[in-house]
Structure 1
Amino acid sequence: MSTAPFTVDPDELRLATRWFDDIYNMSRDRLGVSRPAYSAKETEVLEFLAELCRAEGLAVETDAGQNLLFSLPEDADAEKFVIVGSHVDSVPMGGNYDGMAGVLAGLMCLFRARKNGTRFARPVKVLAMRGEESAWFGPCYIASKALMGTLDSDELASAHKGDGRSLADHMGDVGIDMAQVSNGQPLMDKSDILEYIELHIEQGPLLIGKEQPAAVVSGIRGNFRHKQVRCIGEAGHSGAVPRAFRKDPVLAMADLLSRLDESWLTIVQKGDDLVLTSGVVGTDPERHAMSRIADEIRFSLDVRSQNSEVLAAMTQLLREEMDKIARERGVRFDLGDVNNTPPALMTPELVAQLEQAMGRLGMEPTTMASGGGHDAAVFSNAGVPAAMVFVRNQNGSHNPDEAMEIEDFLAGVSIIYEYLVRTAPC
């Protein structure tokens, strides 16, 4: 089999471009695209993919989670298989590539094998999953958790950001047997899954800086996230209340974030992995004023690391610092609900084999960590061997300006395809 350097096939370039354009046009919003989890729009996109693949002679099936599985006809009845997958939903007014690139990468592997008359070393099924994004209900990785039987009751009770109905209701609306999900019964037998492989756009600037089209992911950061932390103080006139008498929640929040930032720097300097973000901050817009000491401020907190011990230490540190600041400044903190996701290391053997595939294609083998979370973490933490490939992408993700080049996408596709056709069963 050829080990010539990777080159772009013009036919595949046109095909992939058309797929992305068609899906963009059916899910465009005022800005970017919106494909809400467990919505009619998400279903429309899945039906489009099903029609596309049936027309090309591929096998299509719907699983118990109302996700779609695609395969070569000869692999449709395989008892065990490699999954190449990702999600089709998006954040509100997001980009067209986050999630969708992973689904179309798997389909491109099937199309290439079908066109070339090639058999994979092991049966392959492409999994197009529903809800992954946390933007709609709060919990993330919903479909993959349901497949692995780890979607809990609190997550199922989460309210949709728009209509307020529960996640369980929305899942039931698309035809999922919620009795199974509520009882924690896996919707897919993980012993059937030989491996799970996911392509995703990079959500940071590393590959841009390295001038490389793709890389293999070594691990996925876990996190704990507080959607809305409240710091409650006491209102007052900005010119009349001396410092000693103030109970200022804004300064208390700033103090907390400053202390967390100092700890972050210390942890990183010691060689451990950590990132920390407060992306939503605000006082009540109906009551705040330049001349008024706020009585309350609300903010989000997102703490991520590849190390479970670091996350546990940061959880403890957060509470200790809040207690200290509450005493010092006369305020109180309410953390609200928390969402936890454990870190996931990718399977070292798969990482090494994907790196070897890169080398055979004339690419420089490269690995990197994933700061964002992905369905691959759920499969990995359920005991399924898992790996990921990142594709270079400008302008980050979860925004309309995602800018993946289709040539880079096809480089990522080729890494996975090379692995699938060359890697024999262990």
Structure 2
Amino acid sequence: MSALPAAAIALAGRLFEELRLHTTDEPGITRAAYGEGEEFAHALVRRAGLELGLHEAVDVAGNLYLTLPGEDPALPGWIIGSHIDSVPHGGNFDGAAGVLAGLAVVAALREEGRRLARDLTVMVIRAEESTWFPVSYLGSRAAFGLLPAEALETRRADTGRTLREHMEALGFDAEAVARGEAHLDPARIHGFVELHIEQGPVLEREDAALGLVTGIAGSFRYRKARCLGSYGHSGAVPRAYRQDAVVAFADLVAALETTWDGLEREGARATITFGEVGTDPAQHAFSKVPGEIGFCLDVRSESPAVLERIHGELMAQAAVIEQRRGVRFDFGEKTGSTPAILDASLRARFAASAAREGVRAVEMPSGAGHDTSVFANRGVSSALLFVRNQNGSHNPQEDMRLADFAEAVRVIRRAIAG
């Protein structure tokens, strides 16, 4: 087992604390994509990187690259990276752990006087949290020139201003993004590594500090779906004549629960979540049959076939319910992301590194999306590592022991420097 220089983890601890102090938005922290909090975080990491002697670059979408030159610049390089934006009132470690892990690895190598054969770049990715703009992996797709031009016209959930407006206000080149100008070339990347806090309880219950992710779920989403029925008097409209939007929506939830049950019996992994549900406060009332209900739907799986199957069931069951209940479903725009299977040989390399460092690591899938998915689907050898986290993520109670973070940094350092 090899100890890390104390200064490397002290640096990460100091940066975590500065992020917390300057982006607190009670309850929790907020670092909005292309907003004040994300900007502060990028400036903080940039300053720390320059103090470590790293070379700086920023692409047309605002992604930040801090590079430690290797002995042979002609060789494809390593990238360690993650996002640093957050959900509203979230936790301090989601995303940021991956960025600061990269800086800690660099700091350790600097302290030890070691130089890698290849360049090592710490990448700070923009706008991973699609709660702000309804576009999956916005920053990492833009880095490869893959962001559709129409994505620039999507509006941020809180400000109502377009992505184009937010980018240009910060001095980035939205037109170059629209043209598909790429900063990253898959052929120039030896491997991509993302450390992220685990967003569930598995590692805590398995008493393991580290998770080695086998694959990342893709998704389909309907963010502004509605079920439209007819308002009526709660005492005057008999059951047979009702077009009750809430009851029809409940039928849809029950139908997808039955679909999920069947998938689990077959051993197929998926998640189905109705994360926002509500009747119209301008029209609903205690004594009215509800004529409209709005909802969002988030479906995830590592298998494209499973996603297709669930979507087919969704449409079929909606049609049946429309006939039975006299309602209409309007699902609105469909968005989503592509699943990714991660490189087994690179994962084996990290497993061997963990074993040599005496760190307990377990293999597991990721039900949540991560920027690693974009790299993997571009043919880049990619690894996603989870570090144990005590209280889930996307909430103010999010936590991570610095000792577990240090173990993850040791594993990454050995894997890329060995």
TM-score by length of 2: 0.96
46-55 or 10-19, which moves further after superposition?
Answer: 10-19
Are the equivalent residues in 2 in contact too, given 1:65–1:187 (CA < 8 A)? Answer: no
Q: 5 Å matches for 1:155-304?
A: 155-304=151-300
Corresponding residue number in structure 2 for 1:132: 128
* Aligned counterparts of 2:47 and 2:74: Cα–Cα separation in 1: 22
Corresponding residue number in structure 2 for 1:406: 402
When residues 353 and 288 of structure 1 are mapped into structure 2, their CA distance, relative to the original with a 3 A threshold, is same
When residues 364 and 121 of structure 1 are mapped into structure 2, their CA distance, relative to the original with a 3 A threshold, is farther
Q: Secondary structure at the match of 2:26?
A: coil
For 1:233-289, what per-residue CA distance to the aligned partner results, in whole angstroms no more than 9, with x for missing partners?
011122222211111110111101101011111111101111100010000123222
* Aligned counterparts of 2:315 and 2:387: Cα–Cα separation in 1: 38
Shift of 1:24: 1.2
For 1:372-397, what per-residue CA distance to the aligned partner results, in whole angstroms no more than 9, with x for missing partners?
10000011112211111001112211
Q: Secondary structure at the match of 2:408?
A: helix
327-336 or 124-133, which moves further after superposition?
Answer: 124-133
* Aligned counterparts of 2:282 and 2:21: Cα–Cα separation in 1: 38
* Aligned counterparts of 1:44 and 1:230: Cα–Cα separation in 2: 38
Corresponding residue number in structure 1 for 2:339: 343
Q: Secondary structure at the match of 1:195?
A: strand
Q: 5 Å matches for 1:321-336?
A: 321-336=317-332
* Aligned counterparts of 1:41 and 1:95: Cα–Cα separation in 2: 13
Are the equivalent residues in 1 in contact too, given 2:149–2:177 (CA < 8 A)? Answer: no
57-66 or 141-150, which moves further after superposition?
Answer: 57-66
* Aligned counterparts of 1:111 and 1:261: Cα–Cα separation in 2: 49
Q: Secondary structure at the match of 2:166?
A: helix
When residues 296 and 174 of structure 1 are mapped into structure 2, their CA distance, relative to the original with a 3 A threshold, is same
| Correspondent of 1:95 among 91, 99, 104 | 91
* Aligned counterparts of 2:52 and 2:344: Cα–Cα separation in 1: 35
Q: Secondary structure at the match of 1:366?
A: strand
For 1:45-88, what per-residue CA distance to the aligned partner results, in whole angstroms no more than 9, with x for missing partners?
21222222222323323233322212224569556211100011
Corresponding residue number in structure 2 for 1:379: 375
Are the equivalent residues in 2 in contact too, given 1:81–1:122 (CA < 8 A)? Answer: yes
> Which sections of structure 1, spanning at least 5 residues, go unmatched?
none
* Aligned counterparts of 2:246 and 2:284: Cα–Cα separation in 1: 11
For 1:77-125, what per-residue CA distance to the aligned partner results, in whole angstroms no more than 9, with x for missing partners?
5562111000111111111111110000011000000000112353211
Q: Secondary structure at the match of 2:101?
A: helix
Q: Secondary structure at the match of 1:302?
A: strand
* Aligned counterparts of 2:30 and 2:16: Cα–Cα separation in 1: 14
For 1:6-44, what per-residue CA distance to the aligned partner results, in whole angstroms no more than 9, with x for missing partners?
667654443322110011112111221111111243222
> Which sections of structure 2, spanning at least 5 residues, go unmatched?
none
Q: 5 Å matches for 1:43-82?
A: 43-74=39-70, 80-82=76-78
* Aligned counterparts of 1:352 and 1:252: Cα–Cα separation in 2: 49
Shift of 1:352: 1.1
- Aligned residues with identical type, % of pairs: 40
For 1:350-379, what per-residue CA distance to the aligned partner results, in whole angstroms no more than 9, with x for missing partners?
111111111111123411001110000011
Are the equivalent residues in 2 in contact too, given 1:356–1:365 (CA < 8 A)? Answer: no
Query: What do you get for the CA RMSD once the two structures are aligned?
Result: 1.7
* Aligned counterparts of 1:25 and 1:171: Cα–Cα separation in 2: 25
For 1:161-220, what per-residue CA distance to the aligned partner results, in whole angstroms no more than 9, with x for missing partners?
122121122122223322232123323222211111100000011011111111111110
Q: Secondary structure at the match of 2:132?
A: coil
One-letter amino acid of the counterpart of residue 288, structure 2: R
TM-score by length of 1: 0.94
**2:100 is aligned with 1:104:** yes
